Structure 1
Amino acid sequence: MPLTIAICDDNENQIKEMRRLLAEWSADKPFALDIDEYISAESFLFSYPDKPCDLILLDIEMDRLNGMELAKRLRSNGDMLPIVFITGYSDYIAEGYDVEALHYLLKPVAKEKLFAVLDKYVEKRSVKADELIFETANGATHISADRITYIEAFGRKTAVHLSDDRIIDCMVSISRFSAMRLNGFVSPHRSYIVNLRFVRSIGKTEIALDNGTIIPLSRRLYKDVNEKFIQFYTKG
């Protein structure tokens, strides 16, 4: 599964250095790394809706909209994009707890510290998924849970939506899937089960997935789902 990391910094030399470090870090990794570069917080916000990323290396000290303000804007929209702040000062660390920052790295960035943060993130992201076997009209089908974006109920059957946009009609009820307690999944509504790996943001009444799909969210379940979302990306 490819990994996309965004670098947002108003210093082109810093962007160049971070790109070099990322290339070194990913050289022996078993996945492709895509790097997106942004010279300002504004340019990131403009592109982000159509060009999502998995993690952002975010400079704090930028002209106009700074990195902390960008982070607060994302969080106010319910977006829990993992953020690693890059800063020349330690003054912002306390404020970073308010936006659930994944980590802080002080300039000049030590590659060992950057690599450790990224390795920990990838380890959490790559936890072995549950392997599922379920019945379809054409017989038994095997699939890894990490390929499922969400599951939707249709009476006593379900539609299993996959990350490659395929849909598998399953002869199993959604309550059966709920009973499996799949790692990294939440039930935001009685008719849906959602994979947190593919969630972009959570609002009061809906969940937005990376591919643009909108899933309804029961108001009574908002607090629990939102807490699980935050924990999924921020807890060690």
Structure 2
Amino acid sequence: MLICDDDSGLLQGLSSLLLDFFSEARLSPPELALYNEGETLLQSELLPGDPRADIAFLDVEMPGLSGIDVGQRLMERNPYLKIFIVTSYADYLDDAMRFHVFRYLSKPIDRERLFRNMRDALTQLSMDTRPIVIETGDGAVTRFADEIMMVEADGRLTLVHTVDNTYPSPRKISHWERALALPSFYMTHRSFLVNMKYVSRFDQSTIDLGSPSGRVCRAYMARRRYKDFKNAYLTYVEVVH
């Protein structure tokens, strides 16, 4: 778990709160890696992809790279990382949400709010890393649920679009709706199941999705599902102040 803030008092205070959380939840305490600047974090050996680096707390205003810049680079390396942006200012909310931070926390850190969001983060991590078997015409491949941007019905096949590939599968889209029965997935149309994590724009007819690696996809929106999808999406990206 990573914490990066140029305020040594916050580093120690947040570390203590996190250890209290794991103790009260009767979970093994994580290894905490503390940094006072983003450059040092990015150059360290403890990089995302290491199982210890699954959650990061980043201050926005730091010398050198901002928490926004650091967060964007971390997400490029590990799309499963849950990022908490920590700041006294709300001016950075739009920038932070562009790369889908998990939560936006205000200073001083509220203990109960932190604990509630940590429970959500651990739950989401367990779902994101659920292995999904994608049957293809000549075999099968296993990917994590979080790597799937959307599923598209295409005649007798479905196209499973991941962050780096597209797999044609003989399985019907109803199969994928059951297999991906997770809070981040939503059926926007009878032919499209989208992962809300990757939504960058939507209106009453289309949804654009984009991954940190630059891959883009487009899905269609059934007009009658627009209102429910909008509510579901706003709930999904809800930030806690």
Smaller-chain TM-score bracket: 0.5 to 0.7
Q: Which residue of 1 aligns with 2:234?
A: 230
Identity of aligned residues (%): 19
Q: Name whichever of 120-129 and 206-215 sits farther off.
A: 120-129
Distance 1:15 1:142, change over 3 A: same
1:208 maps onto 2:210 in alignment = yes
State the alpha-carbon separation in 2 of the partners of residues 130 and 33 from structure 1: 18
Q: Which residue of 1 aligns with 2:102?
A: 82
**CA RMSD after TM alignment:** 4.4
Distance 1:135 1:125, change over 3 A: closer
Distance 1:33 1:181, change over 3 A: closer
Q: Which residue of 1 aligns with 2:181?
A: 182
Q: Which residue of 1 aligns with 2:8?
A: 13
Q: Which residue of 2 aligns with 1:99?
A: none
The one of 44, 51, 60 aligned to 2:67? 44
1:32 maps onto 2:31 in alignment = no
Is the 2:160–2:166 contact (alpha carbons within 8 Å) kept by the matching residues of 1? yes
| Cα displacement string for residues 121-180 of structure 1 (whole angstroms, at most 9, x for unaligned residues) | 3124434988766653235777764553322343321232346x4543211243553476
What is the Cα deviation at residue 224 of structure 1? Answer: 3.1
State the alpha-carbon separation in 2 of the partners of residues 72 and 134 from structure 1: 35
Q: Name whichever of 140-149 and 12-21 sits farther off.
A: 140-149
Is the 1:158–1:171 contact (alpha carbons within 8 Å) kept by the matching residues of 2? yes
State the alpha-carbon separation in 1 of the partners of residues 84 and 52 from structure 2: 16
SS of the equivalent of 2:101 reads coil
State the alpha-carbon separation in 2 of the partners of residues 148 and 203 from structure 1: 18
Is the 1:157–1:172 contact (alpha carbons within 8 Å) kept by the matching residues of 2? yes
TM-score norm. by structure 1 comes to 0.58
TM-score norm. by structure 2 comes to 0.57
SS of the equivalent of 2:214 reads coil
